Structure 1
Amino acid sequence: MNALTIQNLSVTYDKQYALEDVNFSIPEGSLTGIIGPNGAGKSTLIKAILRLIPTISGEVTVYGKPYKKQRSLVGYVPQRSEVDWDFPTNALDVVLMGRYGHIGWIKRPNKKEVQYALDCLKKVGMEEFADRQISQLSGGQQQRVFLARALAQDAQVYFMDEPFVGVDAATERAIIKLMQEWKEQGKTVLVVHHDLQTVKDYFDHCLLLNKKPIECGPTSDVFTMDNLQRTYGGSISFLGNNQVMMQGG
């Protein structure tokens, strides 16, 4: 079964296409890397799927039903740069936000929900920072808090927008471990990712995007020199041992 299907999705900024007639499907239980050059529409794609920005056309289905009806099955980890880290709240409250889809926005979390959130923080090594203001956390710690919030959502389909940017090695390992655990549980994860060297190590599925999908499918089939050059133009080459080099940024 496909966890996600996108049909005829288009987005414009200032009358220019950011995404044009995007069509693809993602199988259940896959780790999918969304790969493409700067300005290719990778983050825009996630926001359009989640209805965080307006679209001019397109249909999004999650497990065969419209996204609007399946919203509770979807989790989201945004870019850290898009979060107001000065907002006066602590790590535990951020994680509890991930439970609102289950308990509602009006009800206050009970002891069971608080303990659930604490367990999520513990899973990413942040339980001792539960009462710490998020503005006082390091970049890697902030990202772990958002991972804990994603865990608290207990979703079936996760979107992660550049989760590895600006984090330490320990946090990167925590992210990879969490993605692999989600996959083992049959969950589906889509990740905007920039490091071409690690695509084959991290993802079993791949979407190559440059305003339109170039190819989408198993990484072993899709992540090839020909397809990467179609995606990035002439600014890419292979150095052997699956090493990829960008030329000119």
Structure 2
Amino acid sequence: MNAPLSVKNISVAYQKKPVLRDVSFQIPEGKLIGIIGPNGAGKSTLIKAILGLIPKLAGDVNIYGQPYKQQRKMVGYVPQRESVDWDFPTNALDVVMMGRYGHLGWFKRPGKKEKEMAMNALEKVGMESYADRQISQLSGGQQQRIFLARALAQDARLYFMDEPFVGVDAATEKAIISLLNELKNQGKTVLVVHHDLATVEEYFDWVMLLNEKLIEIGPTEDVFTKELLKETYGGKLAILDDKKEQSVILS
């Protein structure tokens, strides 16, 4: 059985400055995986390099044993919200139906089936009543839910989500993590760029620690340790525990 994602020796540079160095890993199916590291560690760059959105200096990517270009239909992507042109004149339903275009091809227009799938995806994220709303009129959390619905409509097997919890309210964050767990329970694999260390153990089965190079990847209980976090972030790191909550402080 081929792994959902196999990455071998990926290196990326911006204007000759290395951003990722020789990153290799493989992940199992049906896991919710957090990509963790400091600002500028290359987390978003890694996703974009895997998806061919930016050029690589070197490296290979296989999705279920085949090059990404041959497996696009199996991959869903939710970009960072600030990277999207929210003033584009379209409504929420049309954005979600874009998730079906890869299955339809360029010359076939979405029909009744695609609209039903899109509405079902909107319902799953609690946004069905906003189907006709222009995306520019939605709040940040609502916009994020729309892009999650688009990824759902794509019906992929492997999902990449770049900081989906940034700028959303508590209710939206709860809805997103519930949705991610639903995908995992369906046997799908989800990689999430994440910055809130305090929720890592609650949210993720596996963790990837990244800071220009791969520090470690594996089950959360094995990887999310003081020693490896210090190696990833540098400086001092204190983890404060009590019975109800955990806070992580970096200095």
Normalising by structure 1, we get a TM-score of: 0.97
Indicate the residue corresponding to 2:237 in structure 1: 236
| 1:111-150 alignment, distance < 5 Å | 111-150=112-151
Is 1:98–1:152's contact at 8 Å kept on the other side of the alignment?
yes
Unpaired runs of 5+ residues, structure 1, are none
Indicate the residue corresponding to 2:250 in structure 1: 247
Question: Aligned partners of 1:240, 1:125: CA distance in 2, in Å?
Answer: 34
Runs of 4 or more, structure 1, over 2 Å off, are 240-248
Indicate the residue corresponding to 1:55 in structure 2: 56
Question: Aligned partners of 1:128, 1:58: CA distance in 2, in Å?
Answer: 44
| 1:30-45 alignment, distance < 5 Å | 30-45=31-46
Question: Aligned partners of 1:197, 1:38: CA distance in 2, in Å?
Answer: 16
Residue 244 of structure 1: how far off its partner (Å): 4.3
Question: Aligned partners of 1:196, 1:86: CA distance in 2, in Å?
Answer: 32
Residue 199 (1) aligns with residue 200 (2): yes
Aligned partner of 2:123: which letter?
K
Number of aligned positions between the proteins: 248
| 1:120-199 alignment, distance < 5 Å | 120-199=121-200
Is 1:207–1:217's contact at 8 Å kept on the other side of the alignment?
yes
Indicate the residue corresponding to 2:95 in structure 1: 94
Question: Aligned partners of 1:246, 1:46: CA distance in 2, in Å?
Answer: 26
Residue 49 of structure 1: how far off its partner (Å): 0.3
Sequence identity of aligned pairs in percent?
Answer: 69
Question: Aligned partners of 1:26, 1:201: CA distance in 2, in Å?
Answer: 19
Indicate the residue corresponding to 1:17 in structure 2: 18
Aligned partner of 2:57: which letter?
I
Aligned partner of 2:83: which letter?
E
Residue 69 of structure 1: how far off its partner (Å): 1.1
Normalising by structure 2, we get a TM-score of: 0.96
- Quote the RMSD (CA, aligned, Å): 1.1
Unpaired runs of 5+ residues, structure 2, are none
Is 1:236–1:244's contact at 8 Å kept on the other side of the alignment?
no
Is 1:35–1:209's contact at 8 Å kept on the other side of the alignment?
yes
Residue 247 of structure 1: how far off its partner (Å): 3.2
DSSP 3-state at the match of 1:213:
strand
Question: Aligned partners of 1:174, 1:126: CA distance in 2, in Å?
Answer: 11
Q: Deviations over 1:190-241 (max 9, x none)?
A: 0000000100000000100001110000001000000000000014222234
Question: Aligned partners of 1:190, 1:73: CA distance in 2, in Å?
Answer: 14
Question: Aligned partners of 2:108, 2:64: CA distance in 1, in Å?
Answer: 29
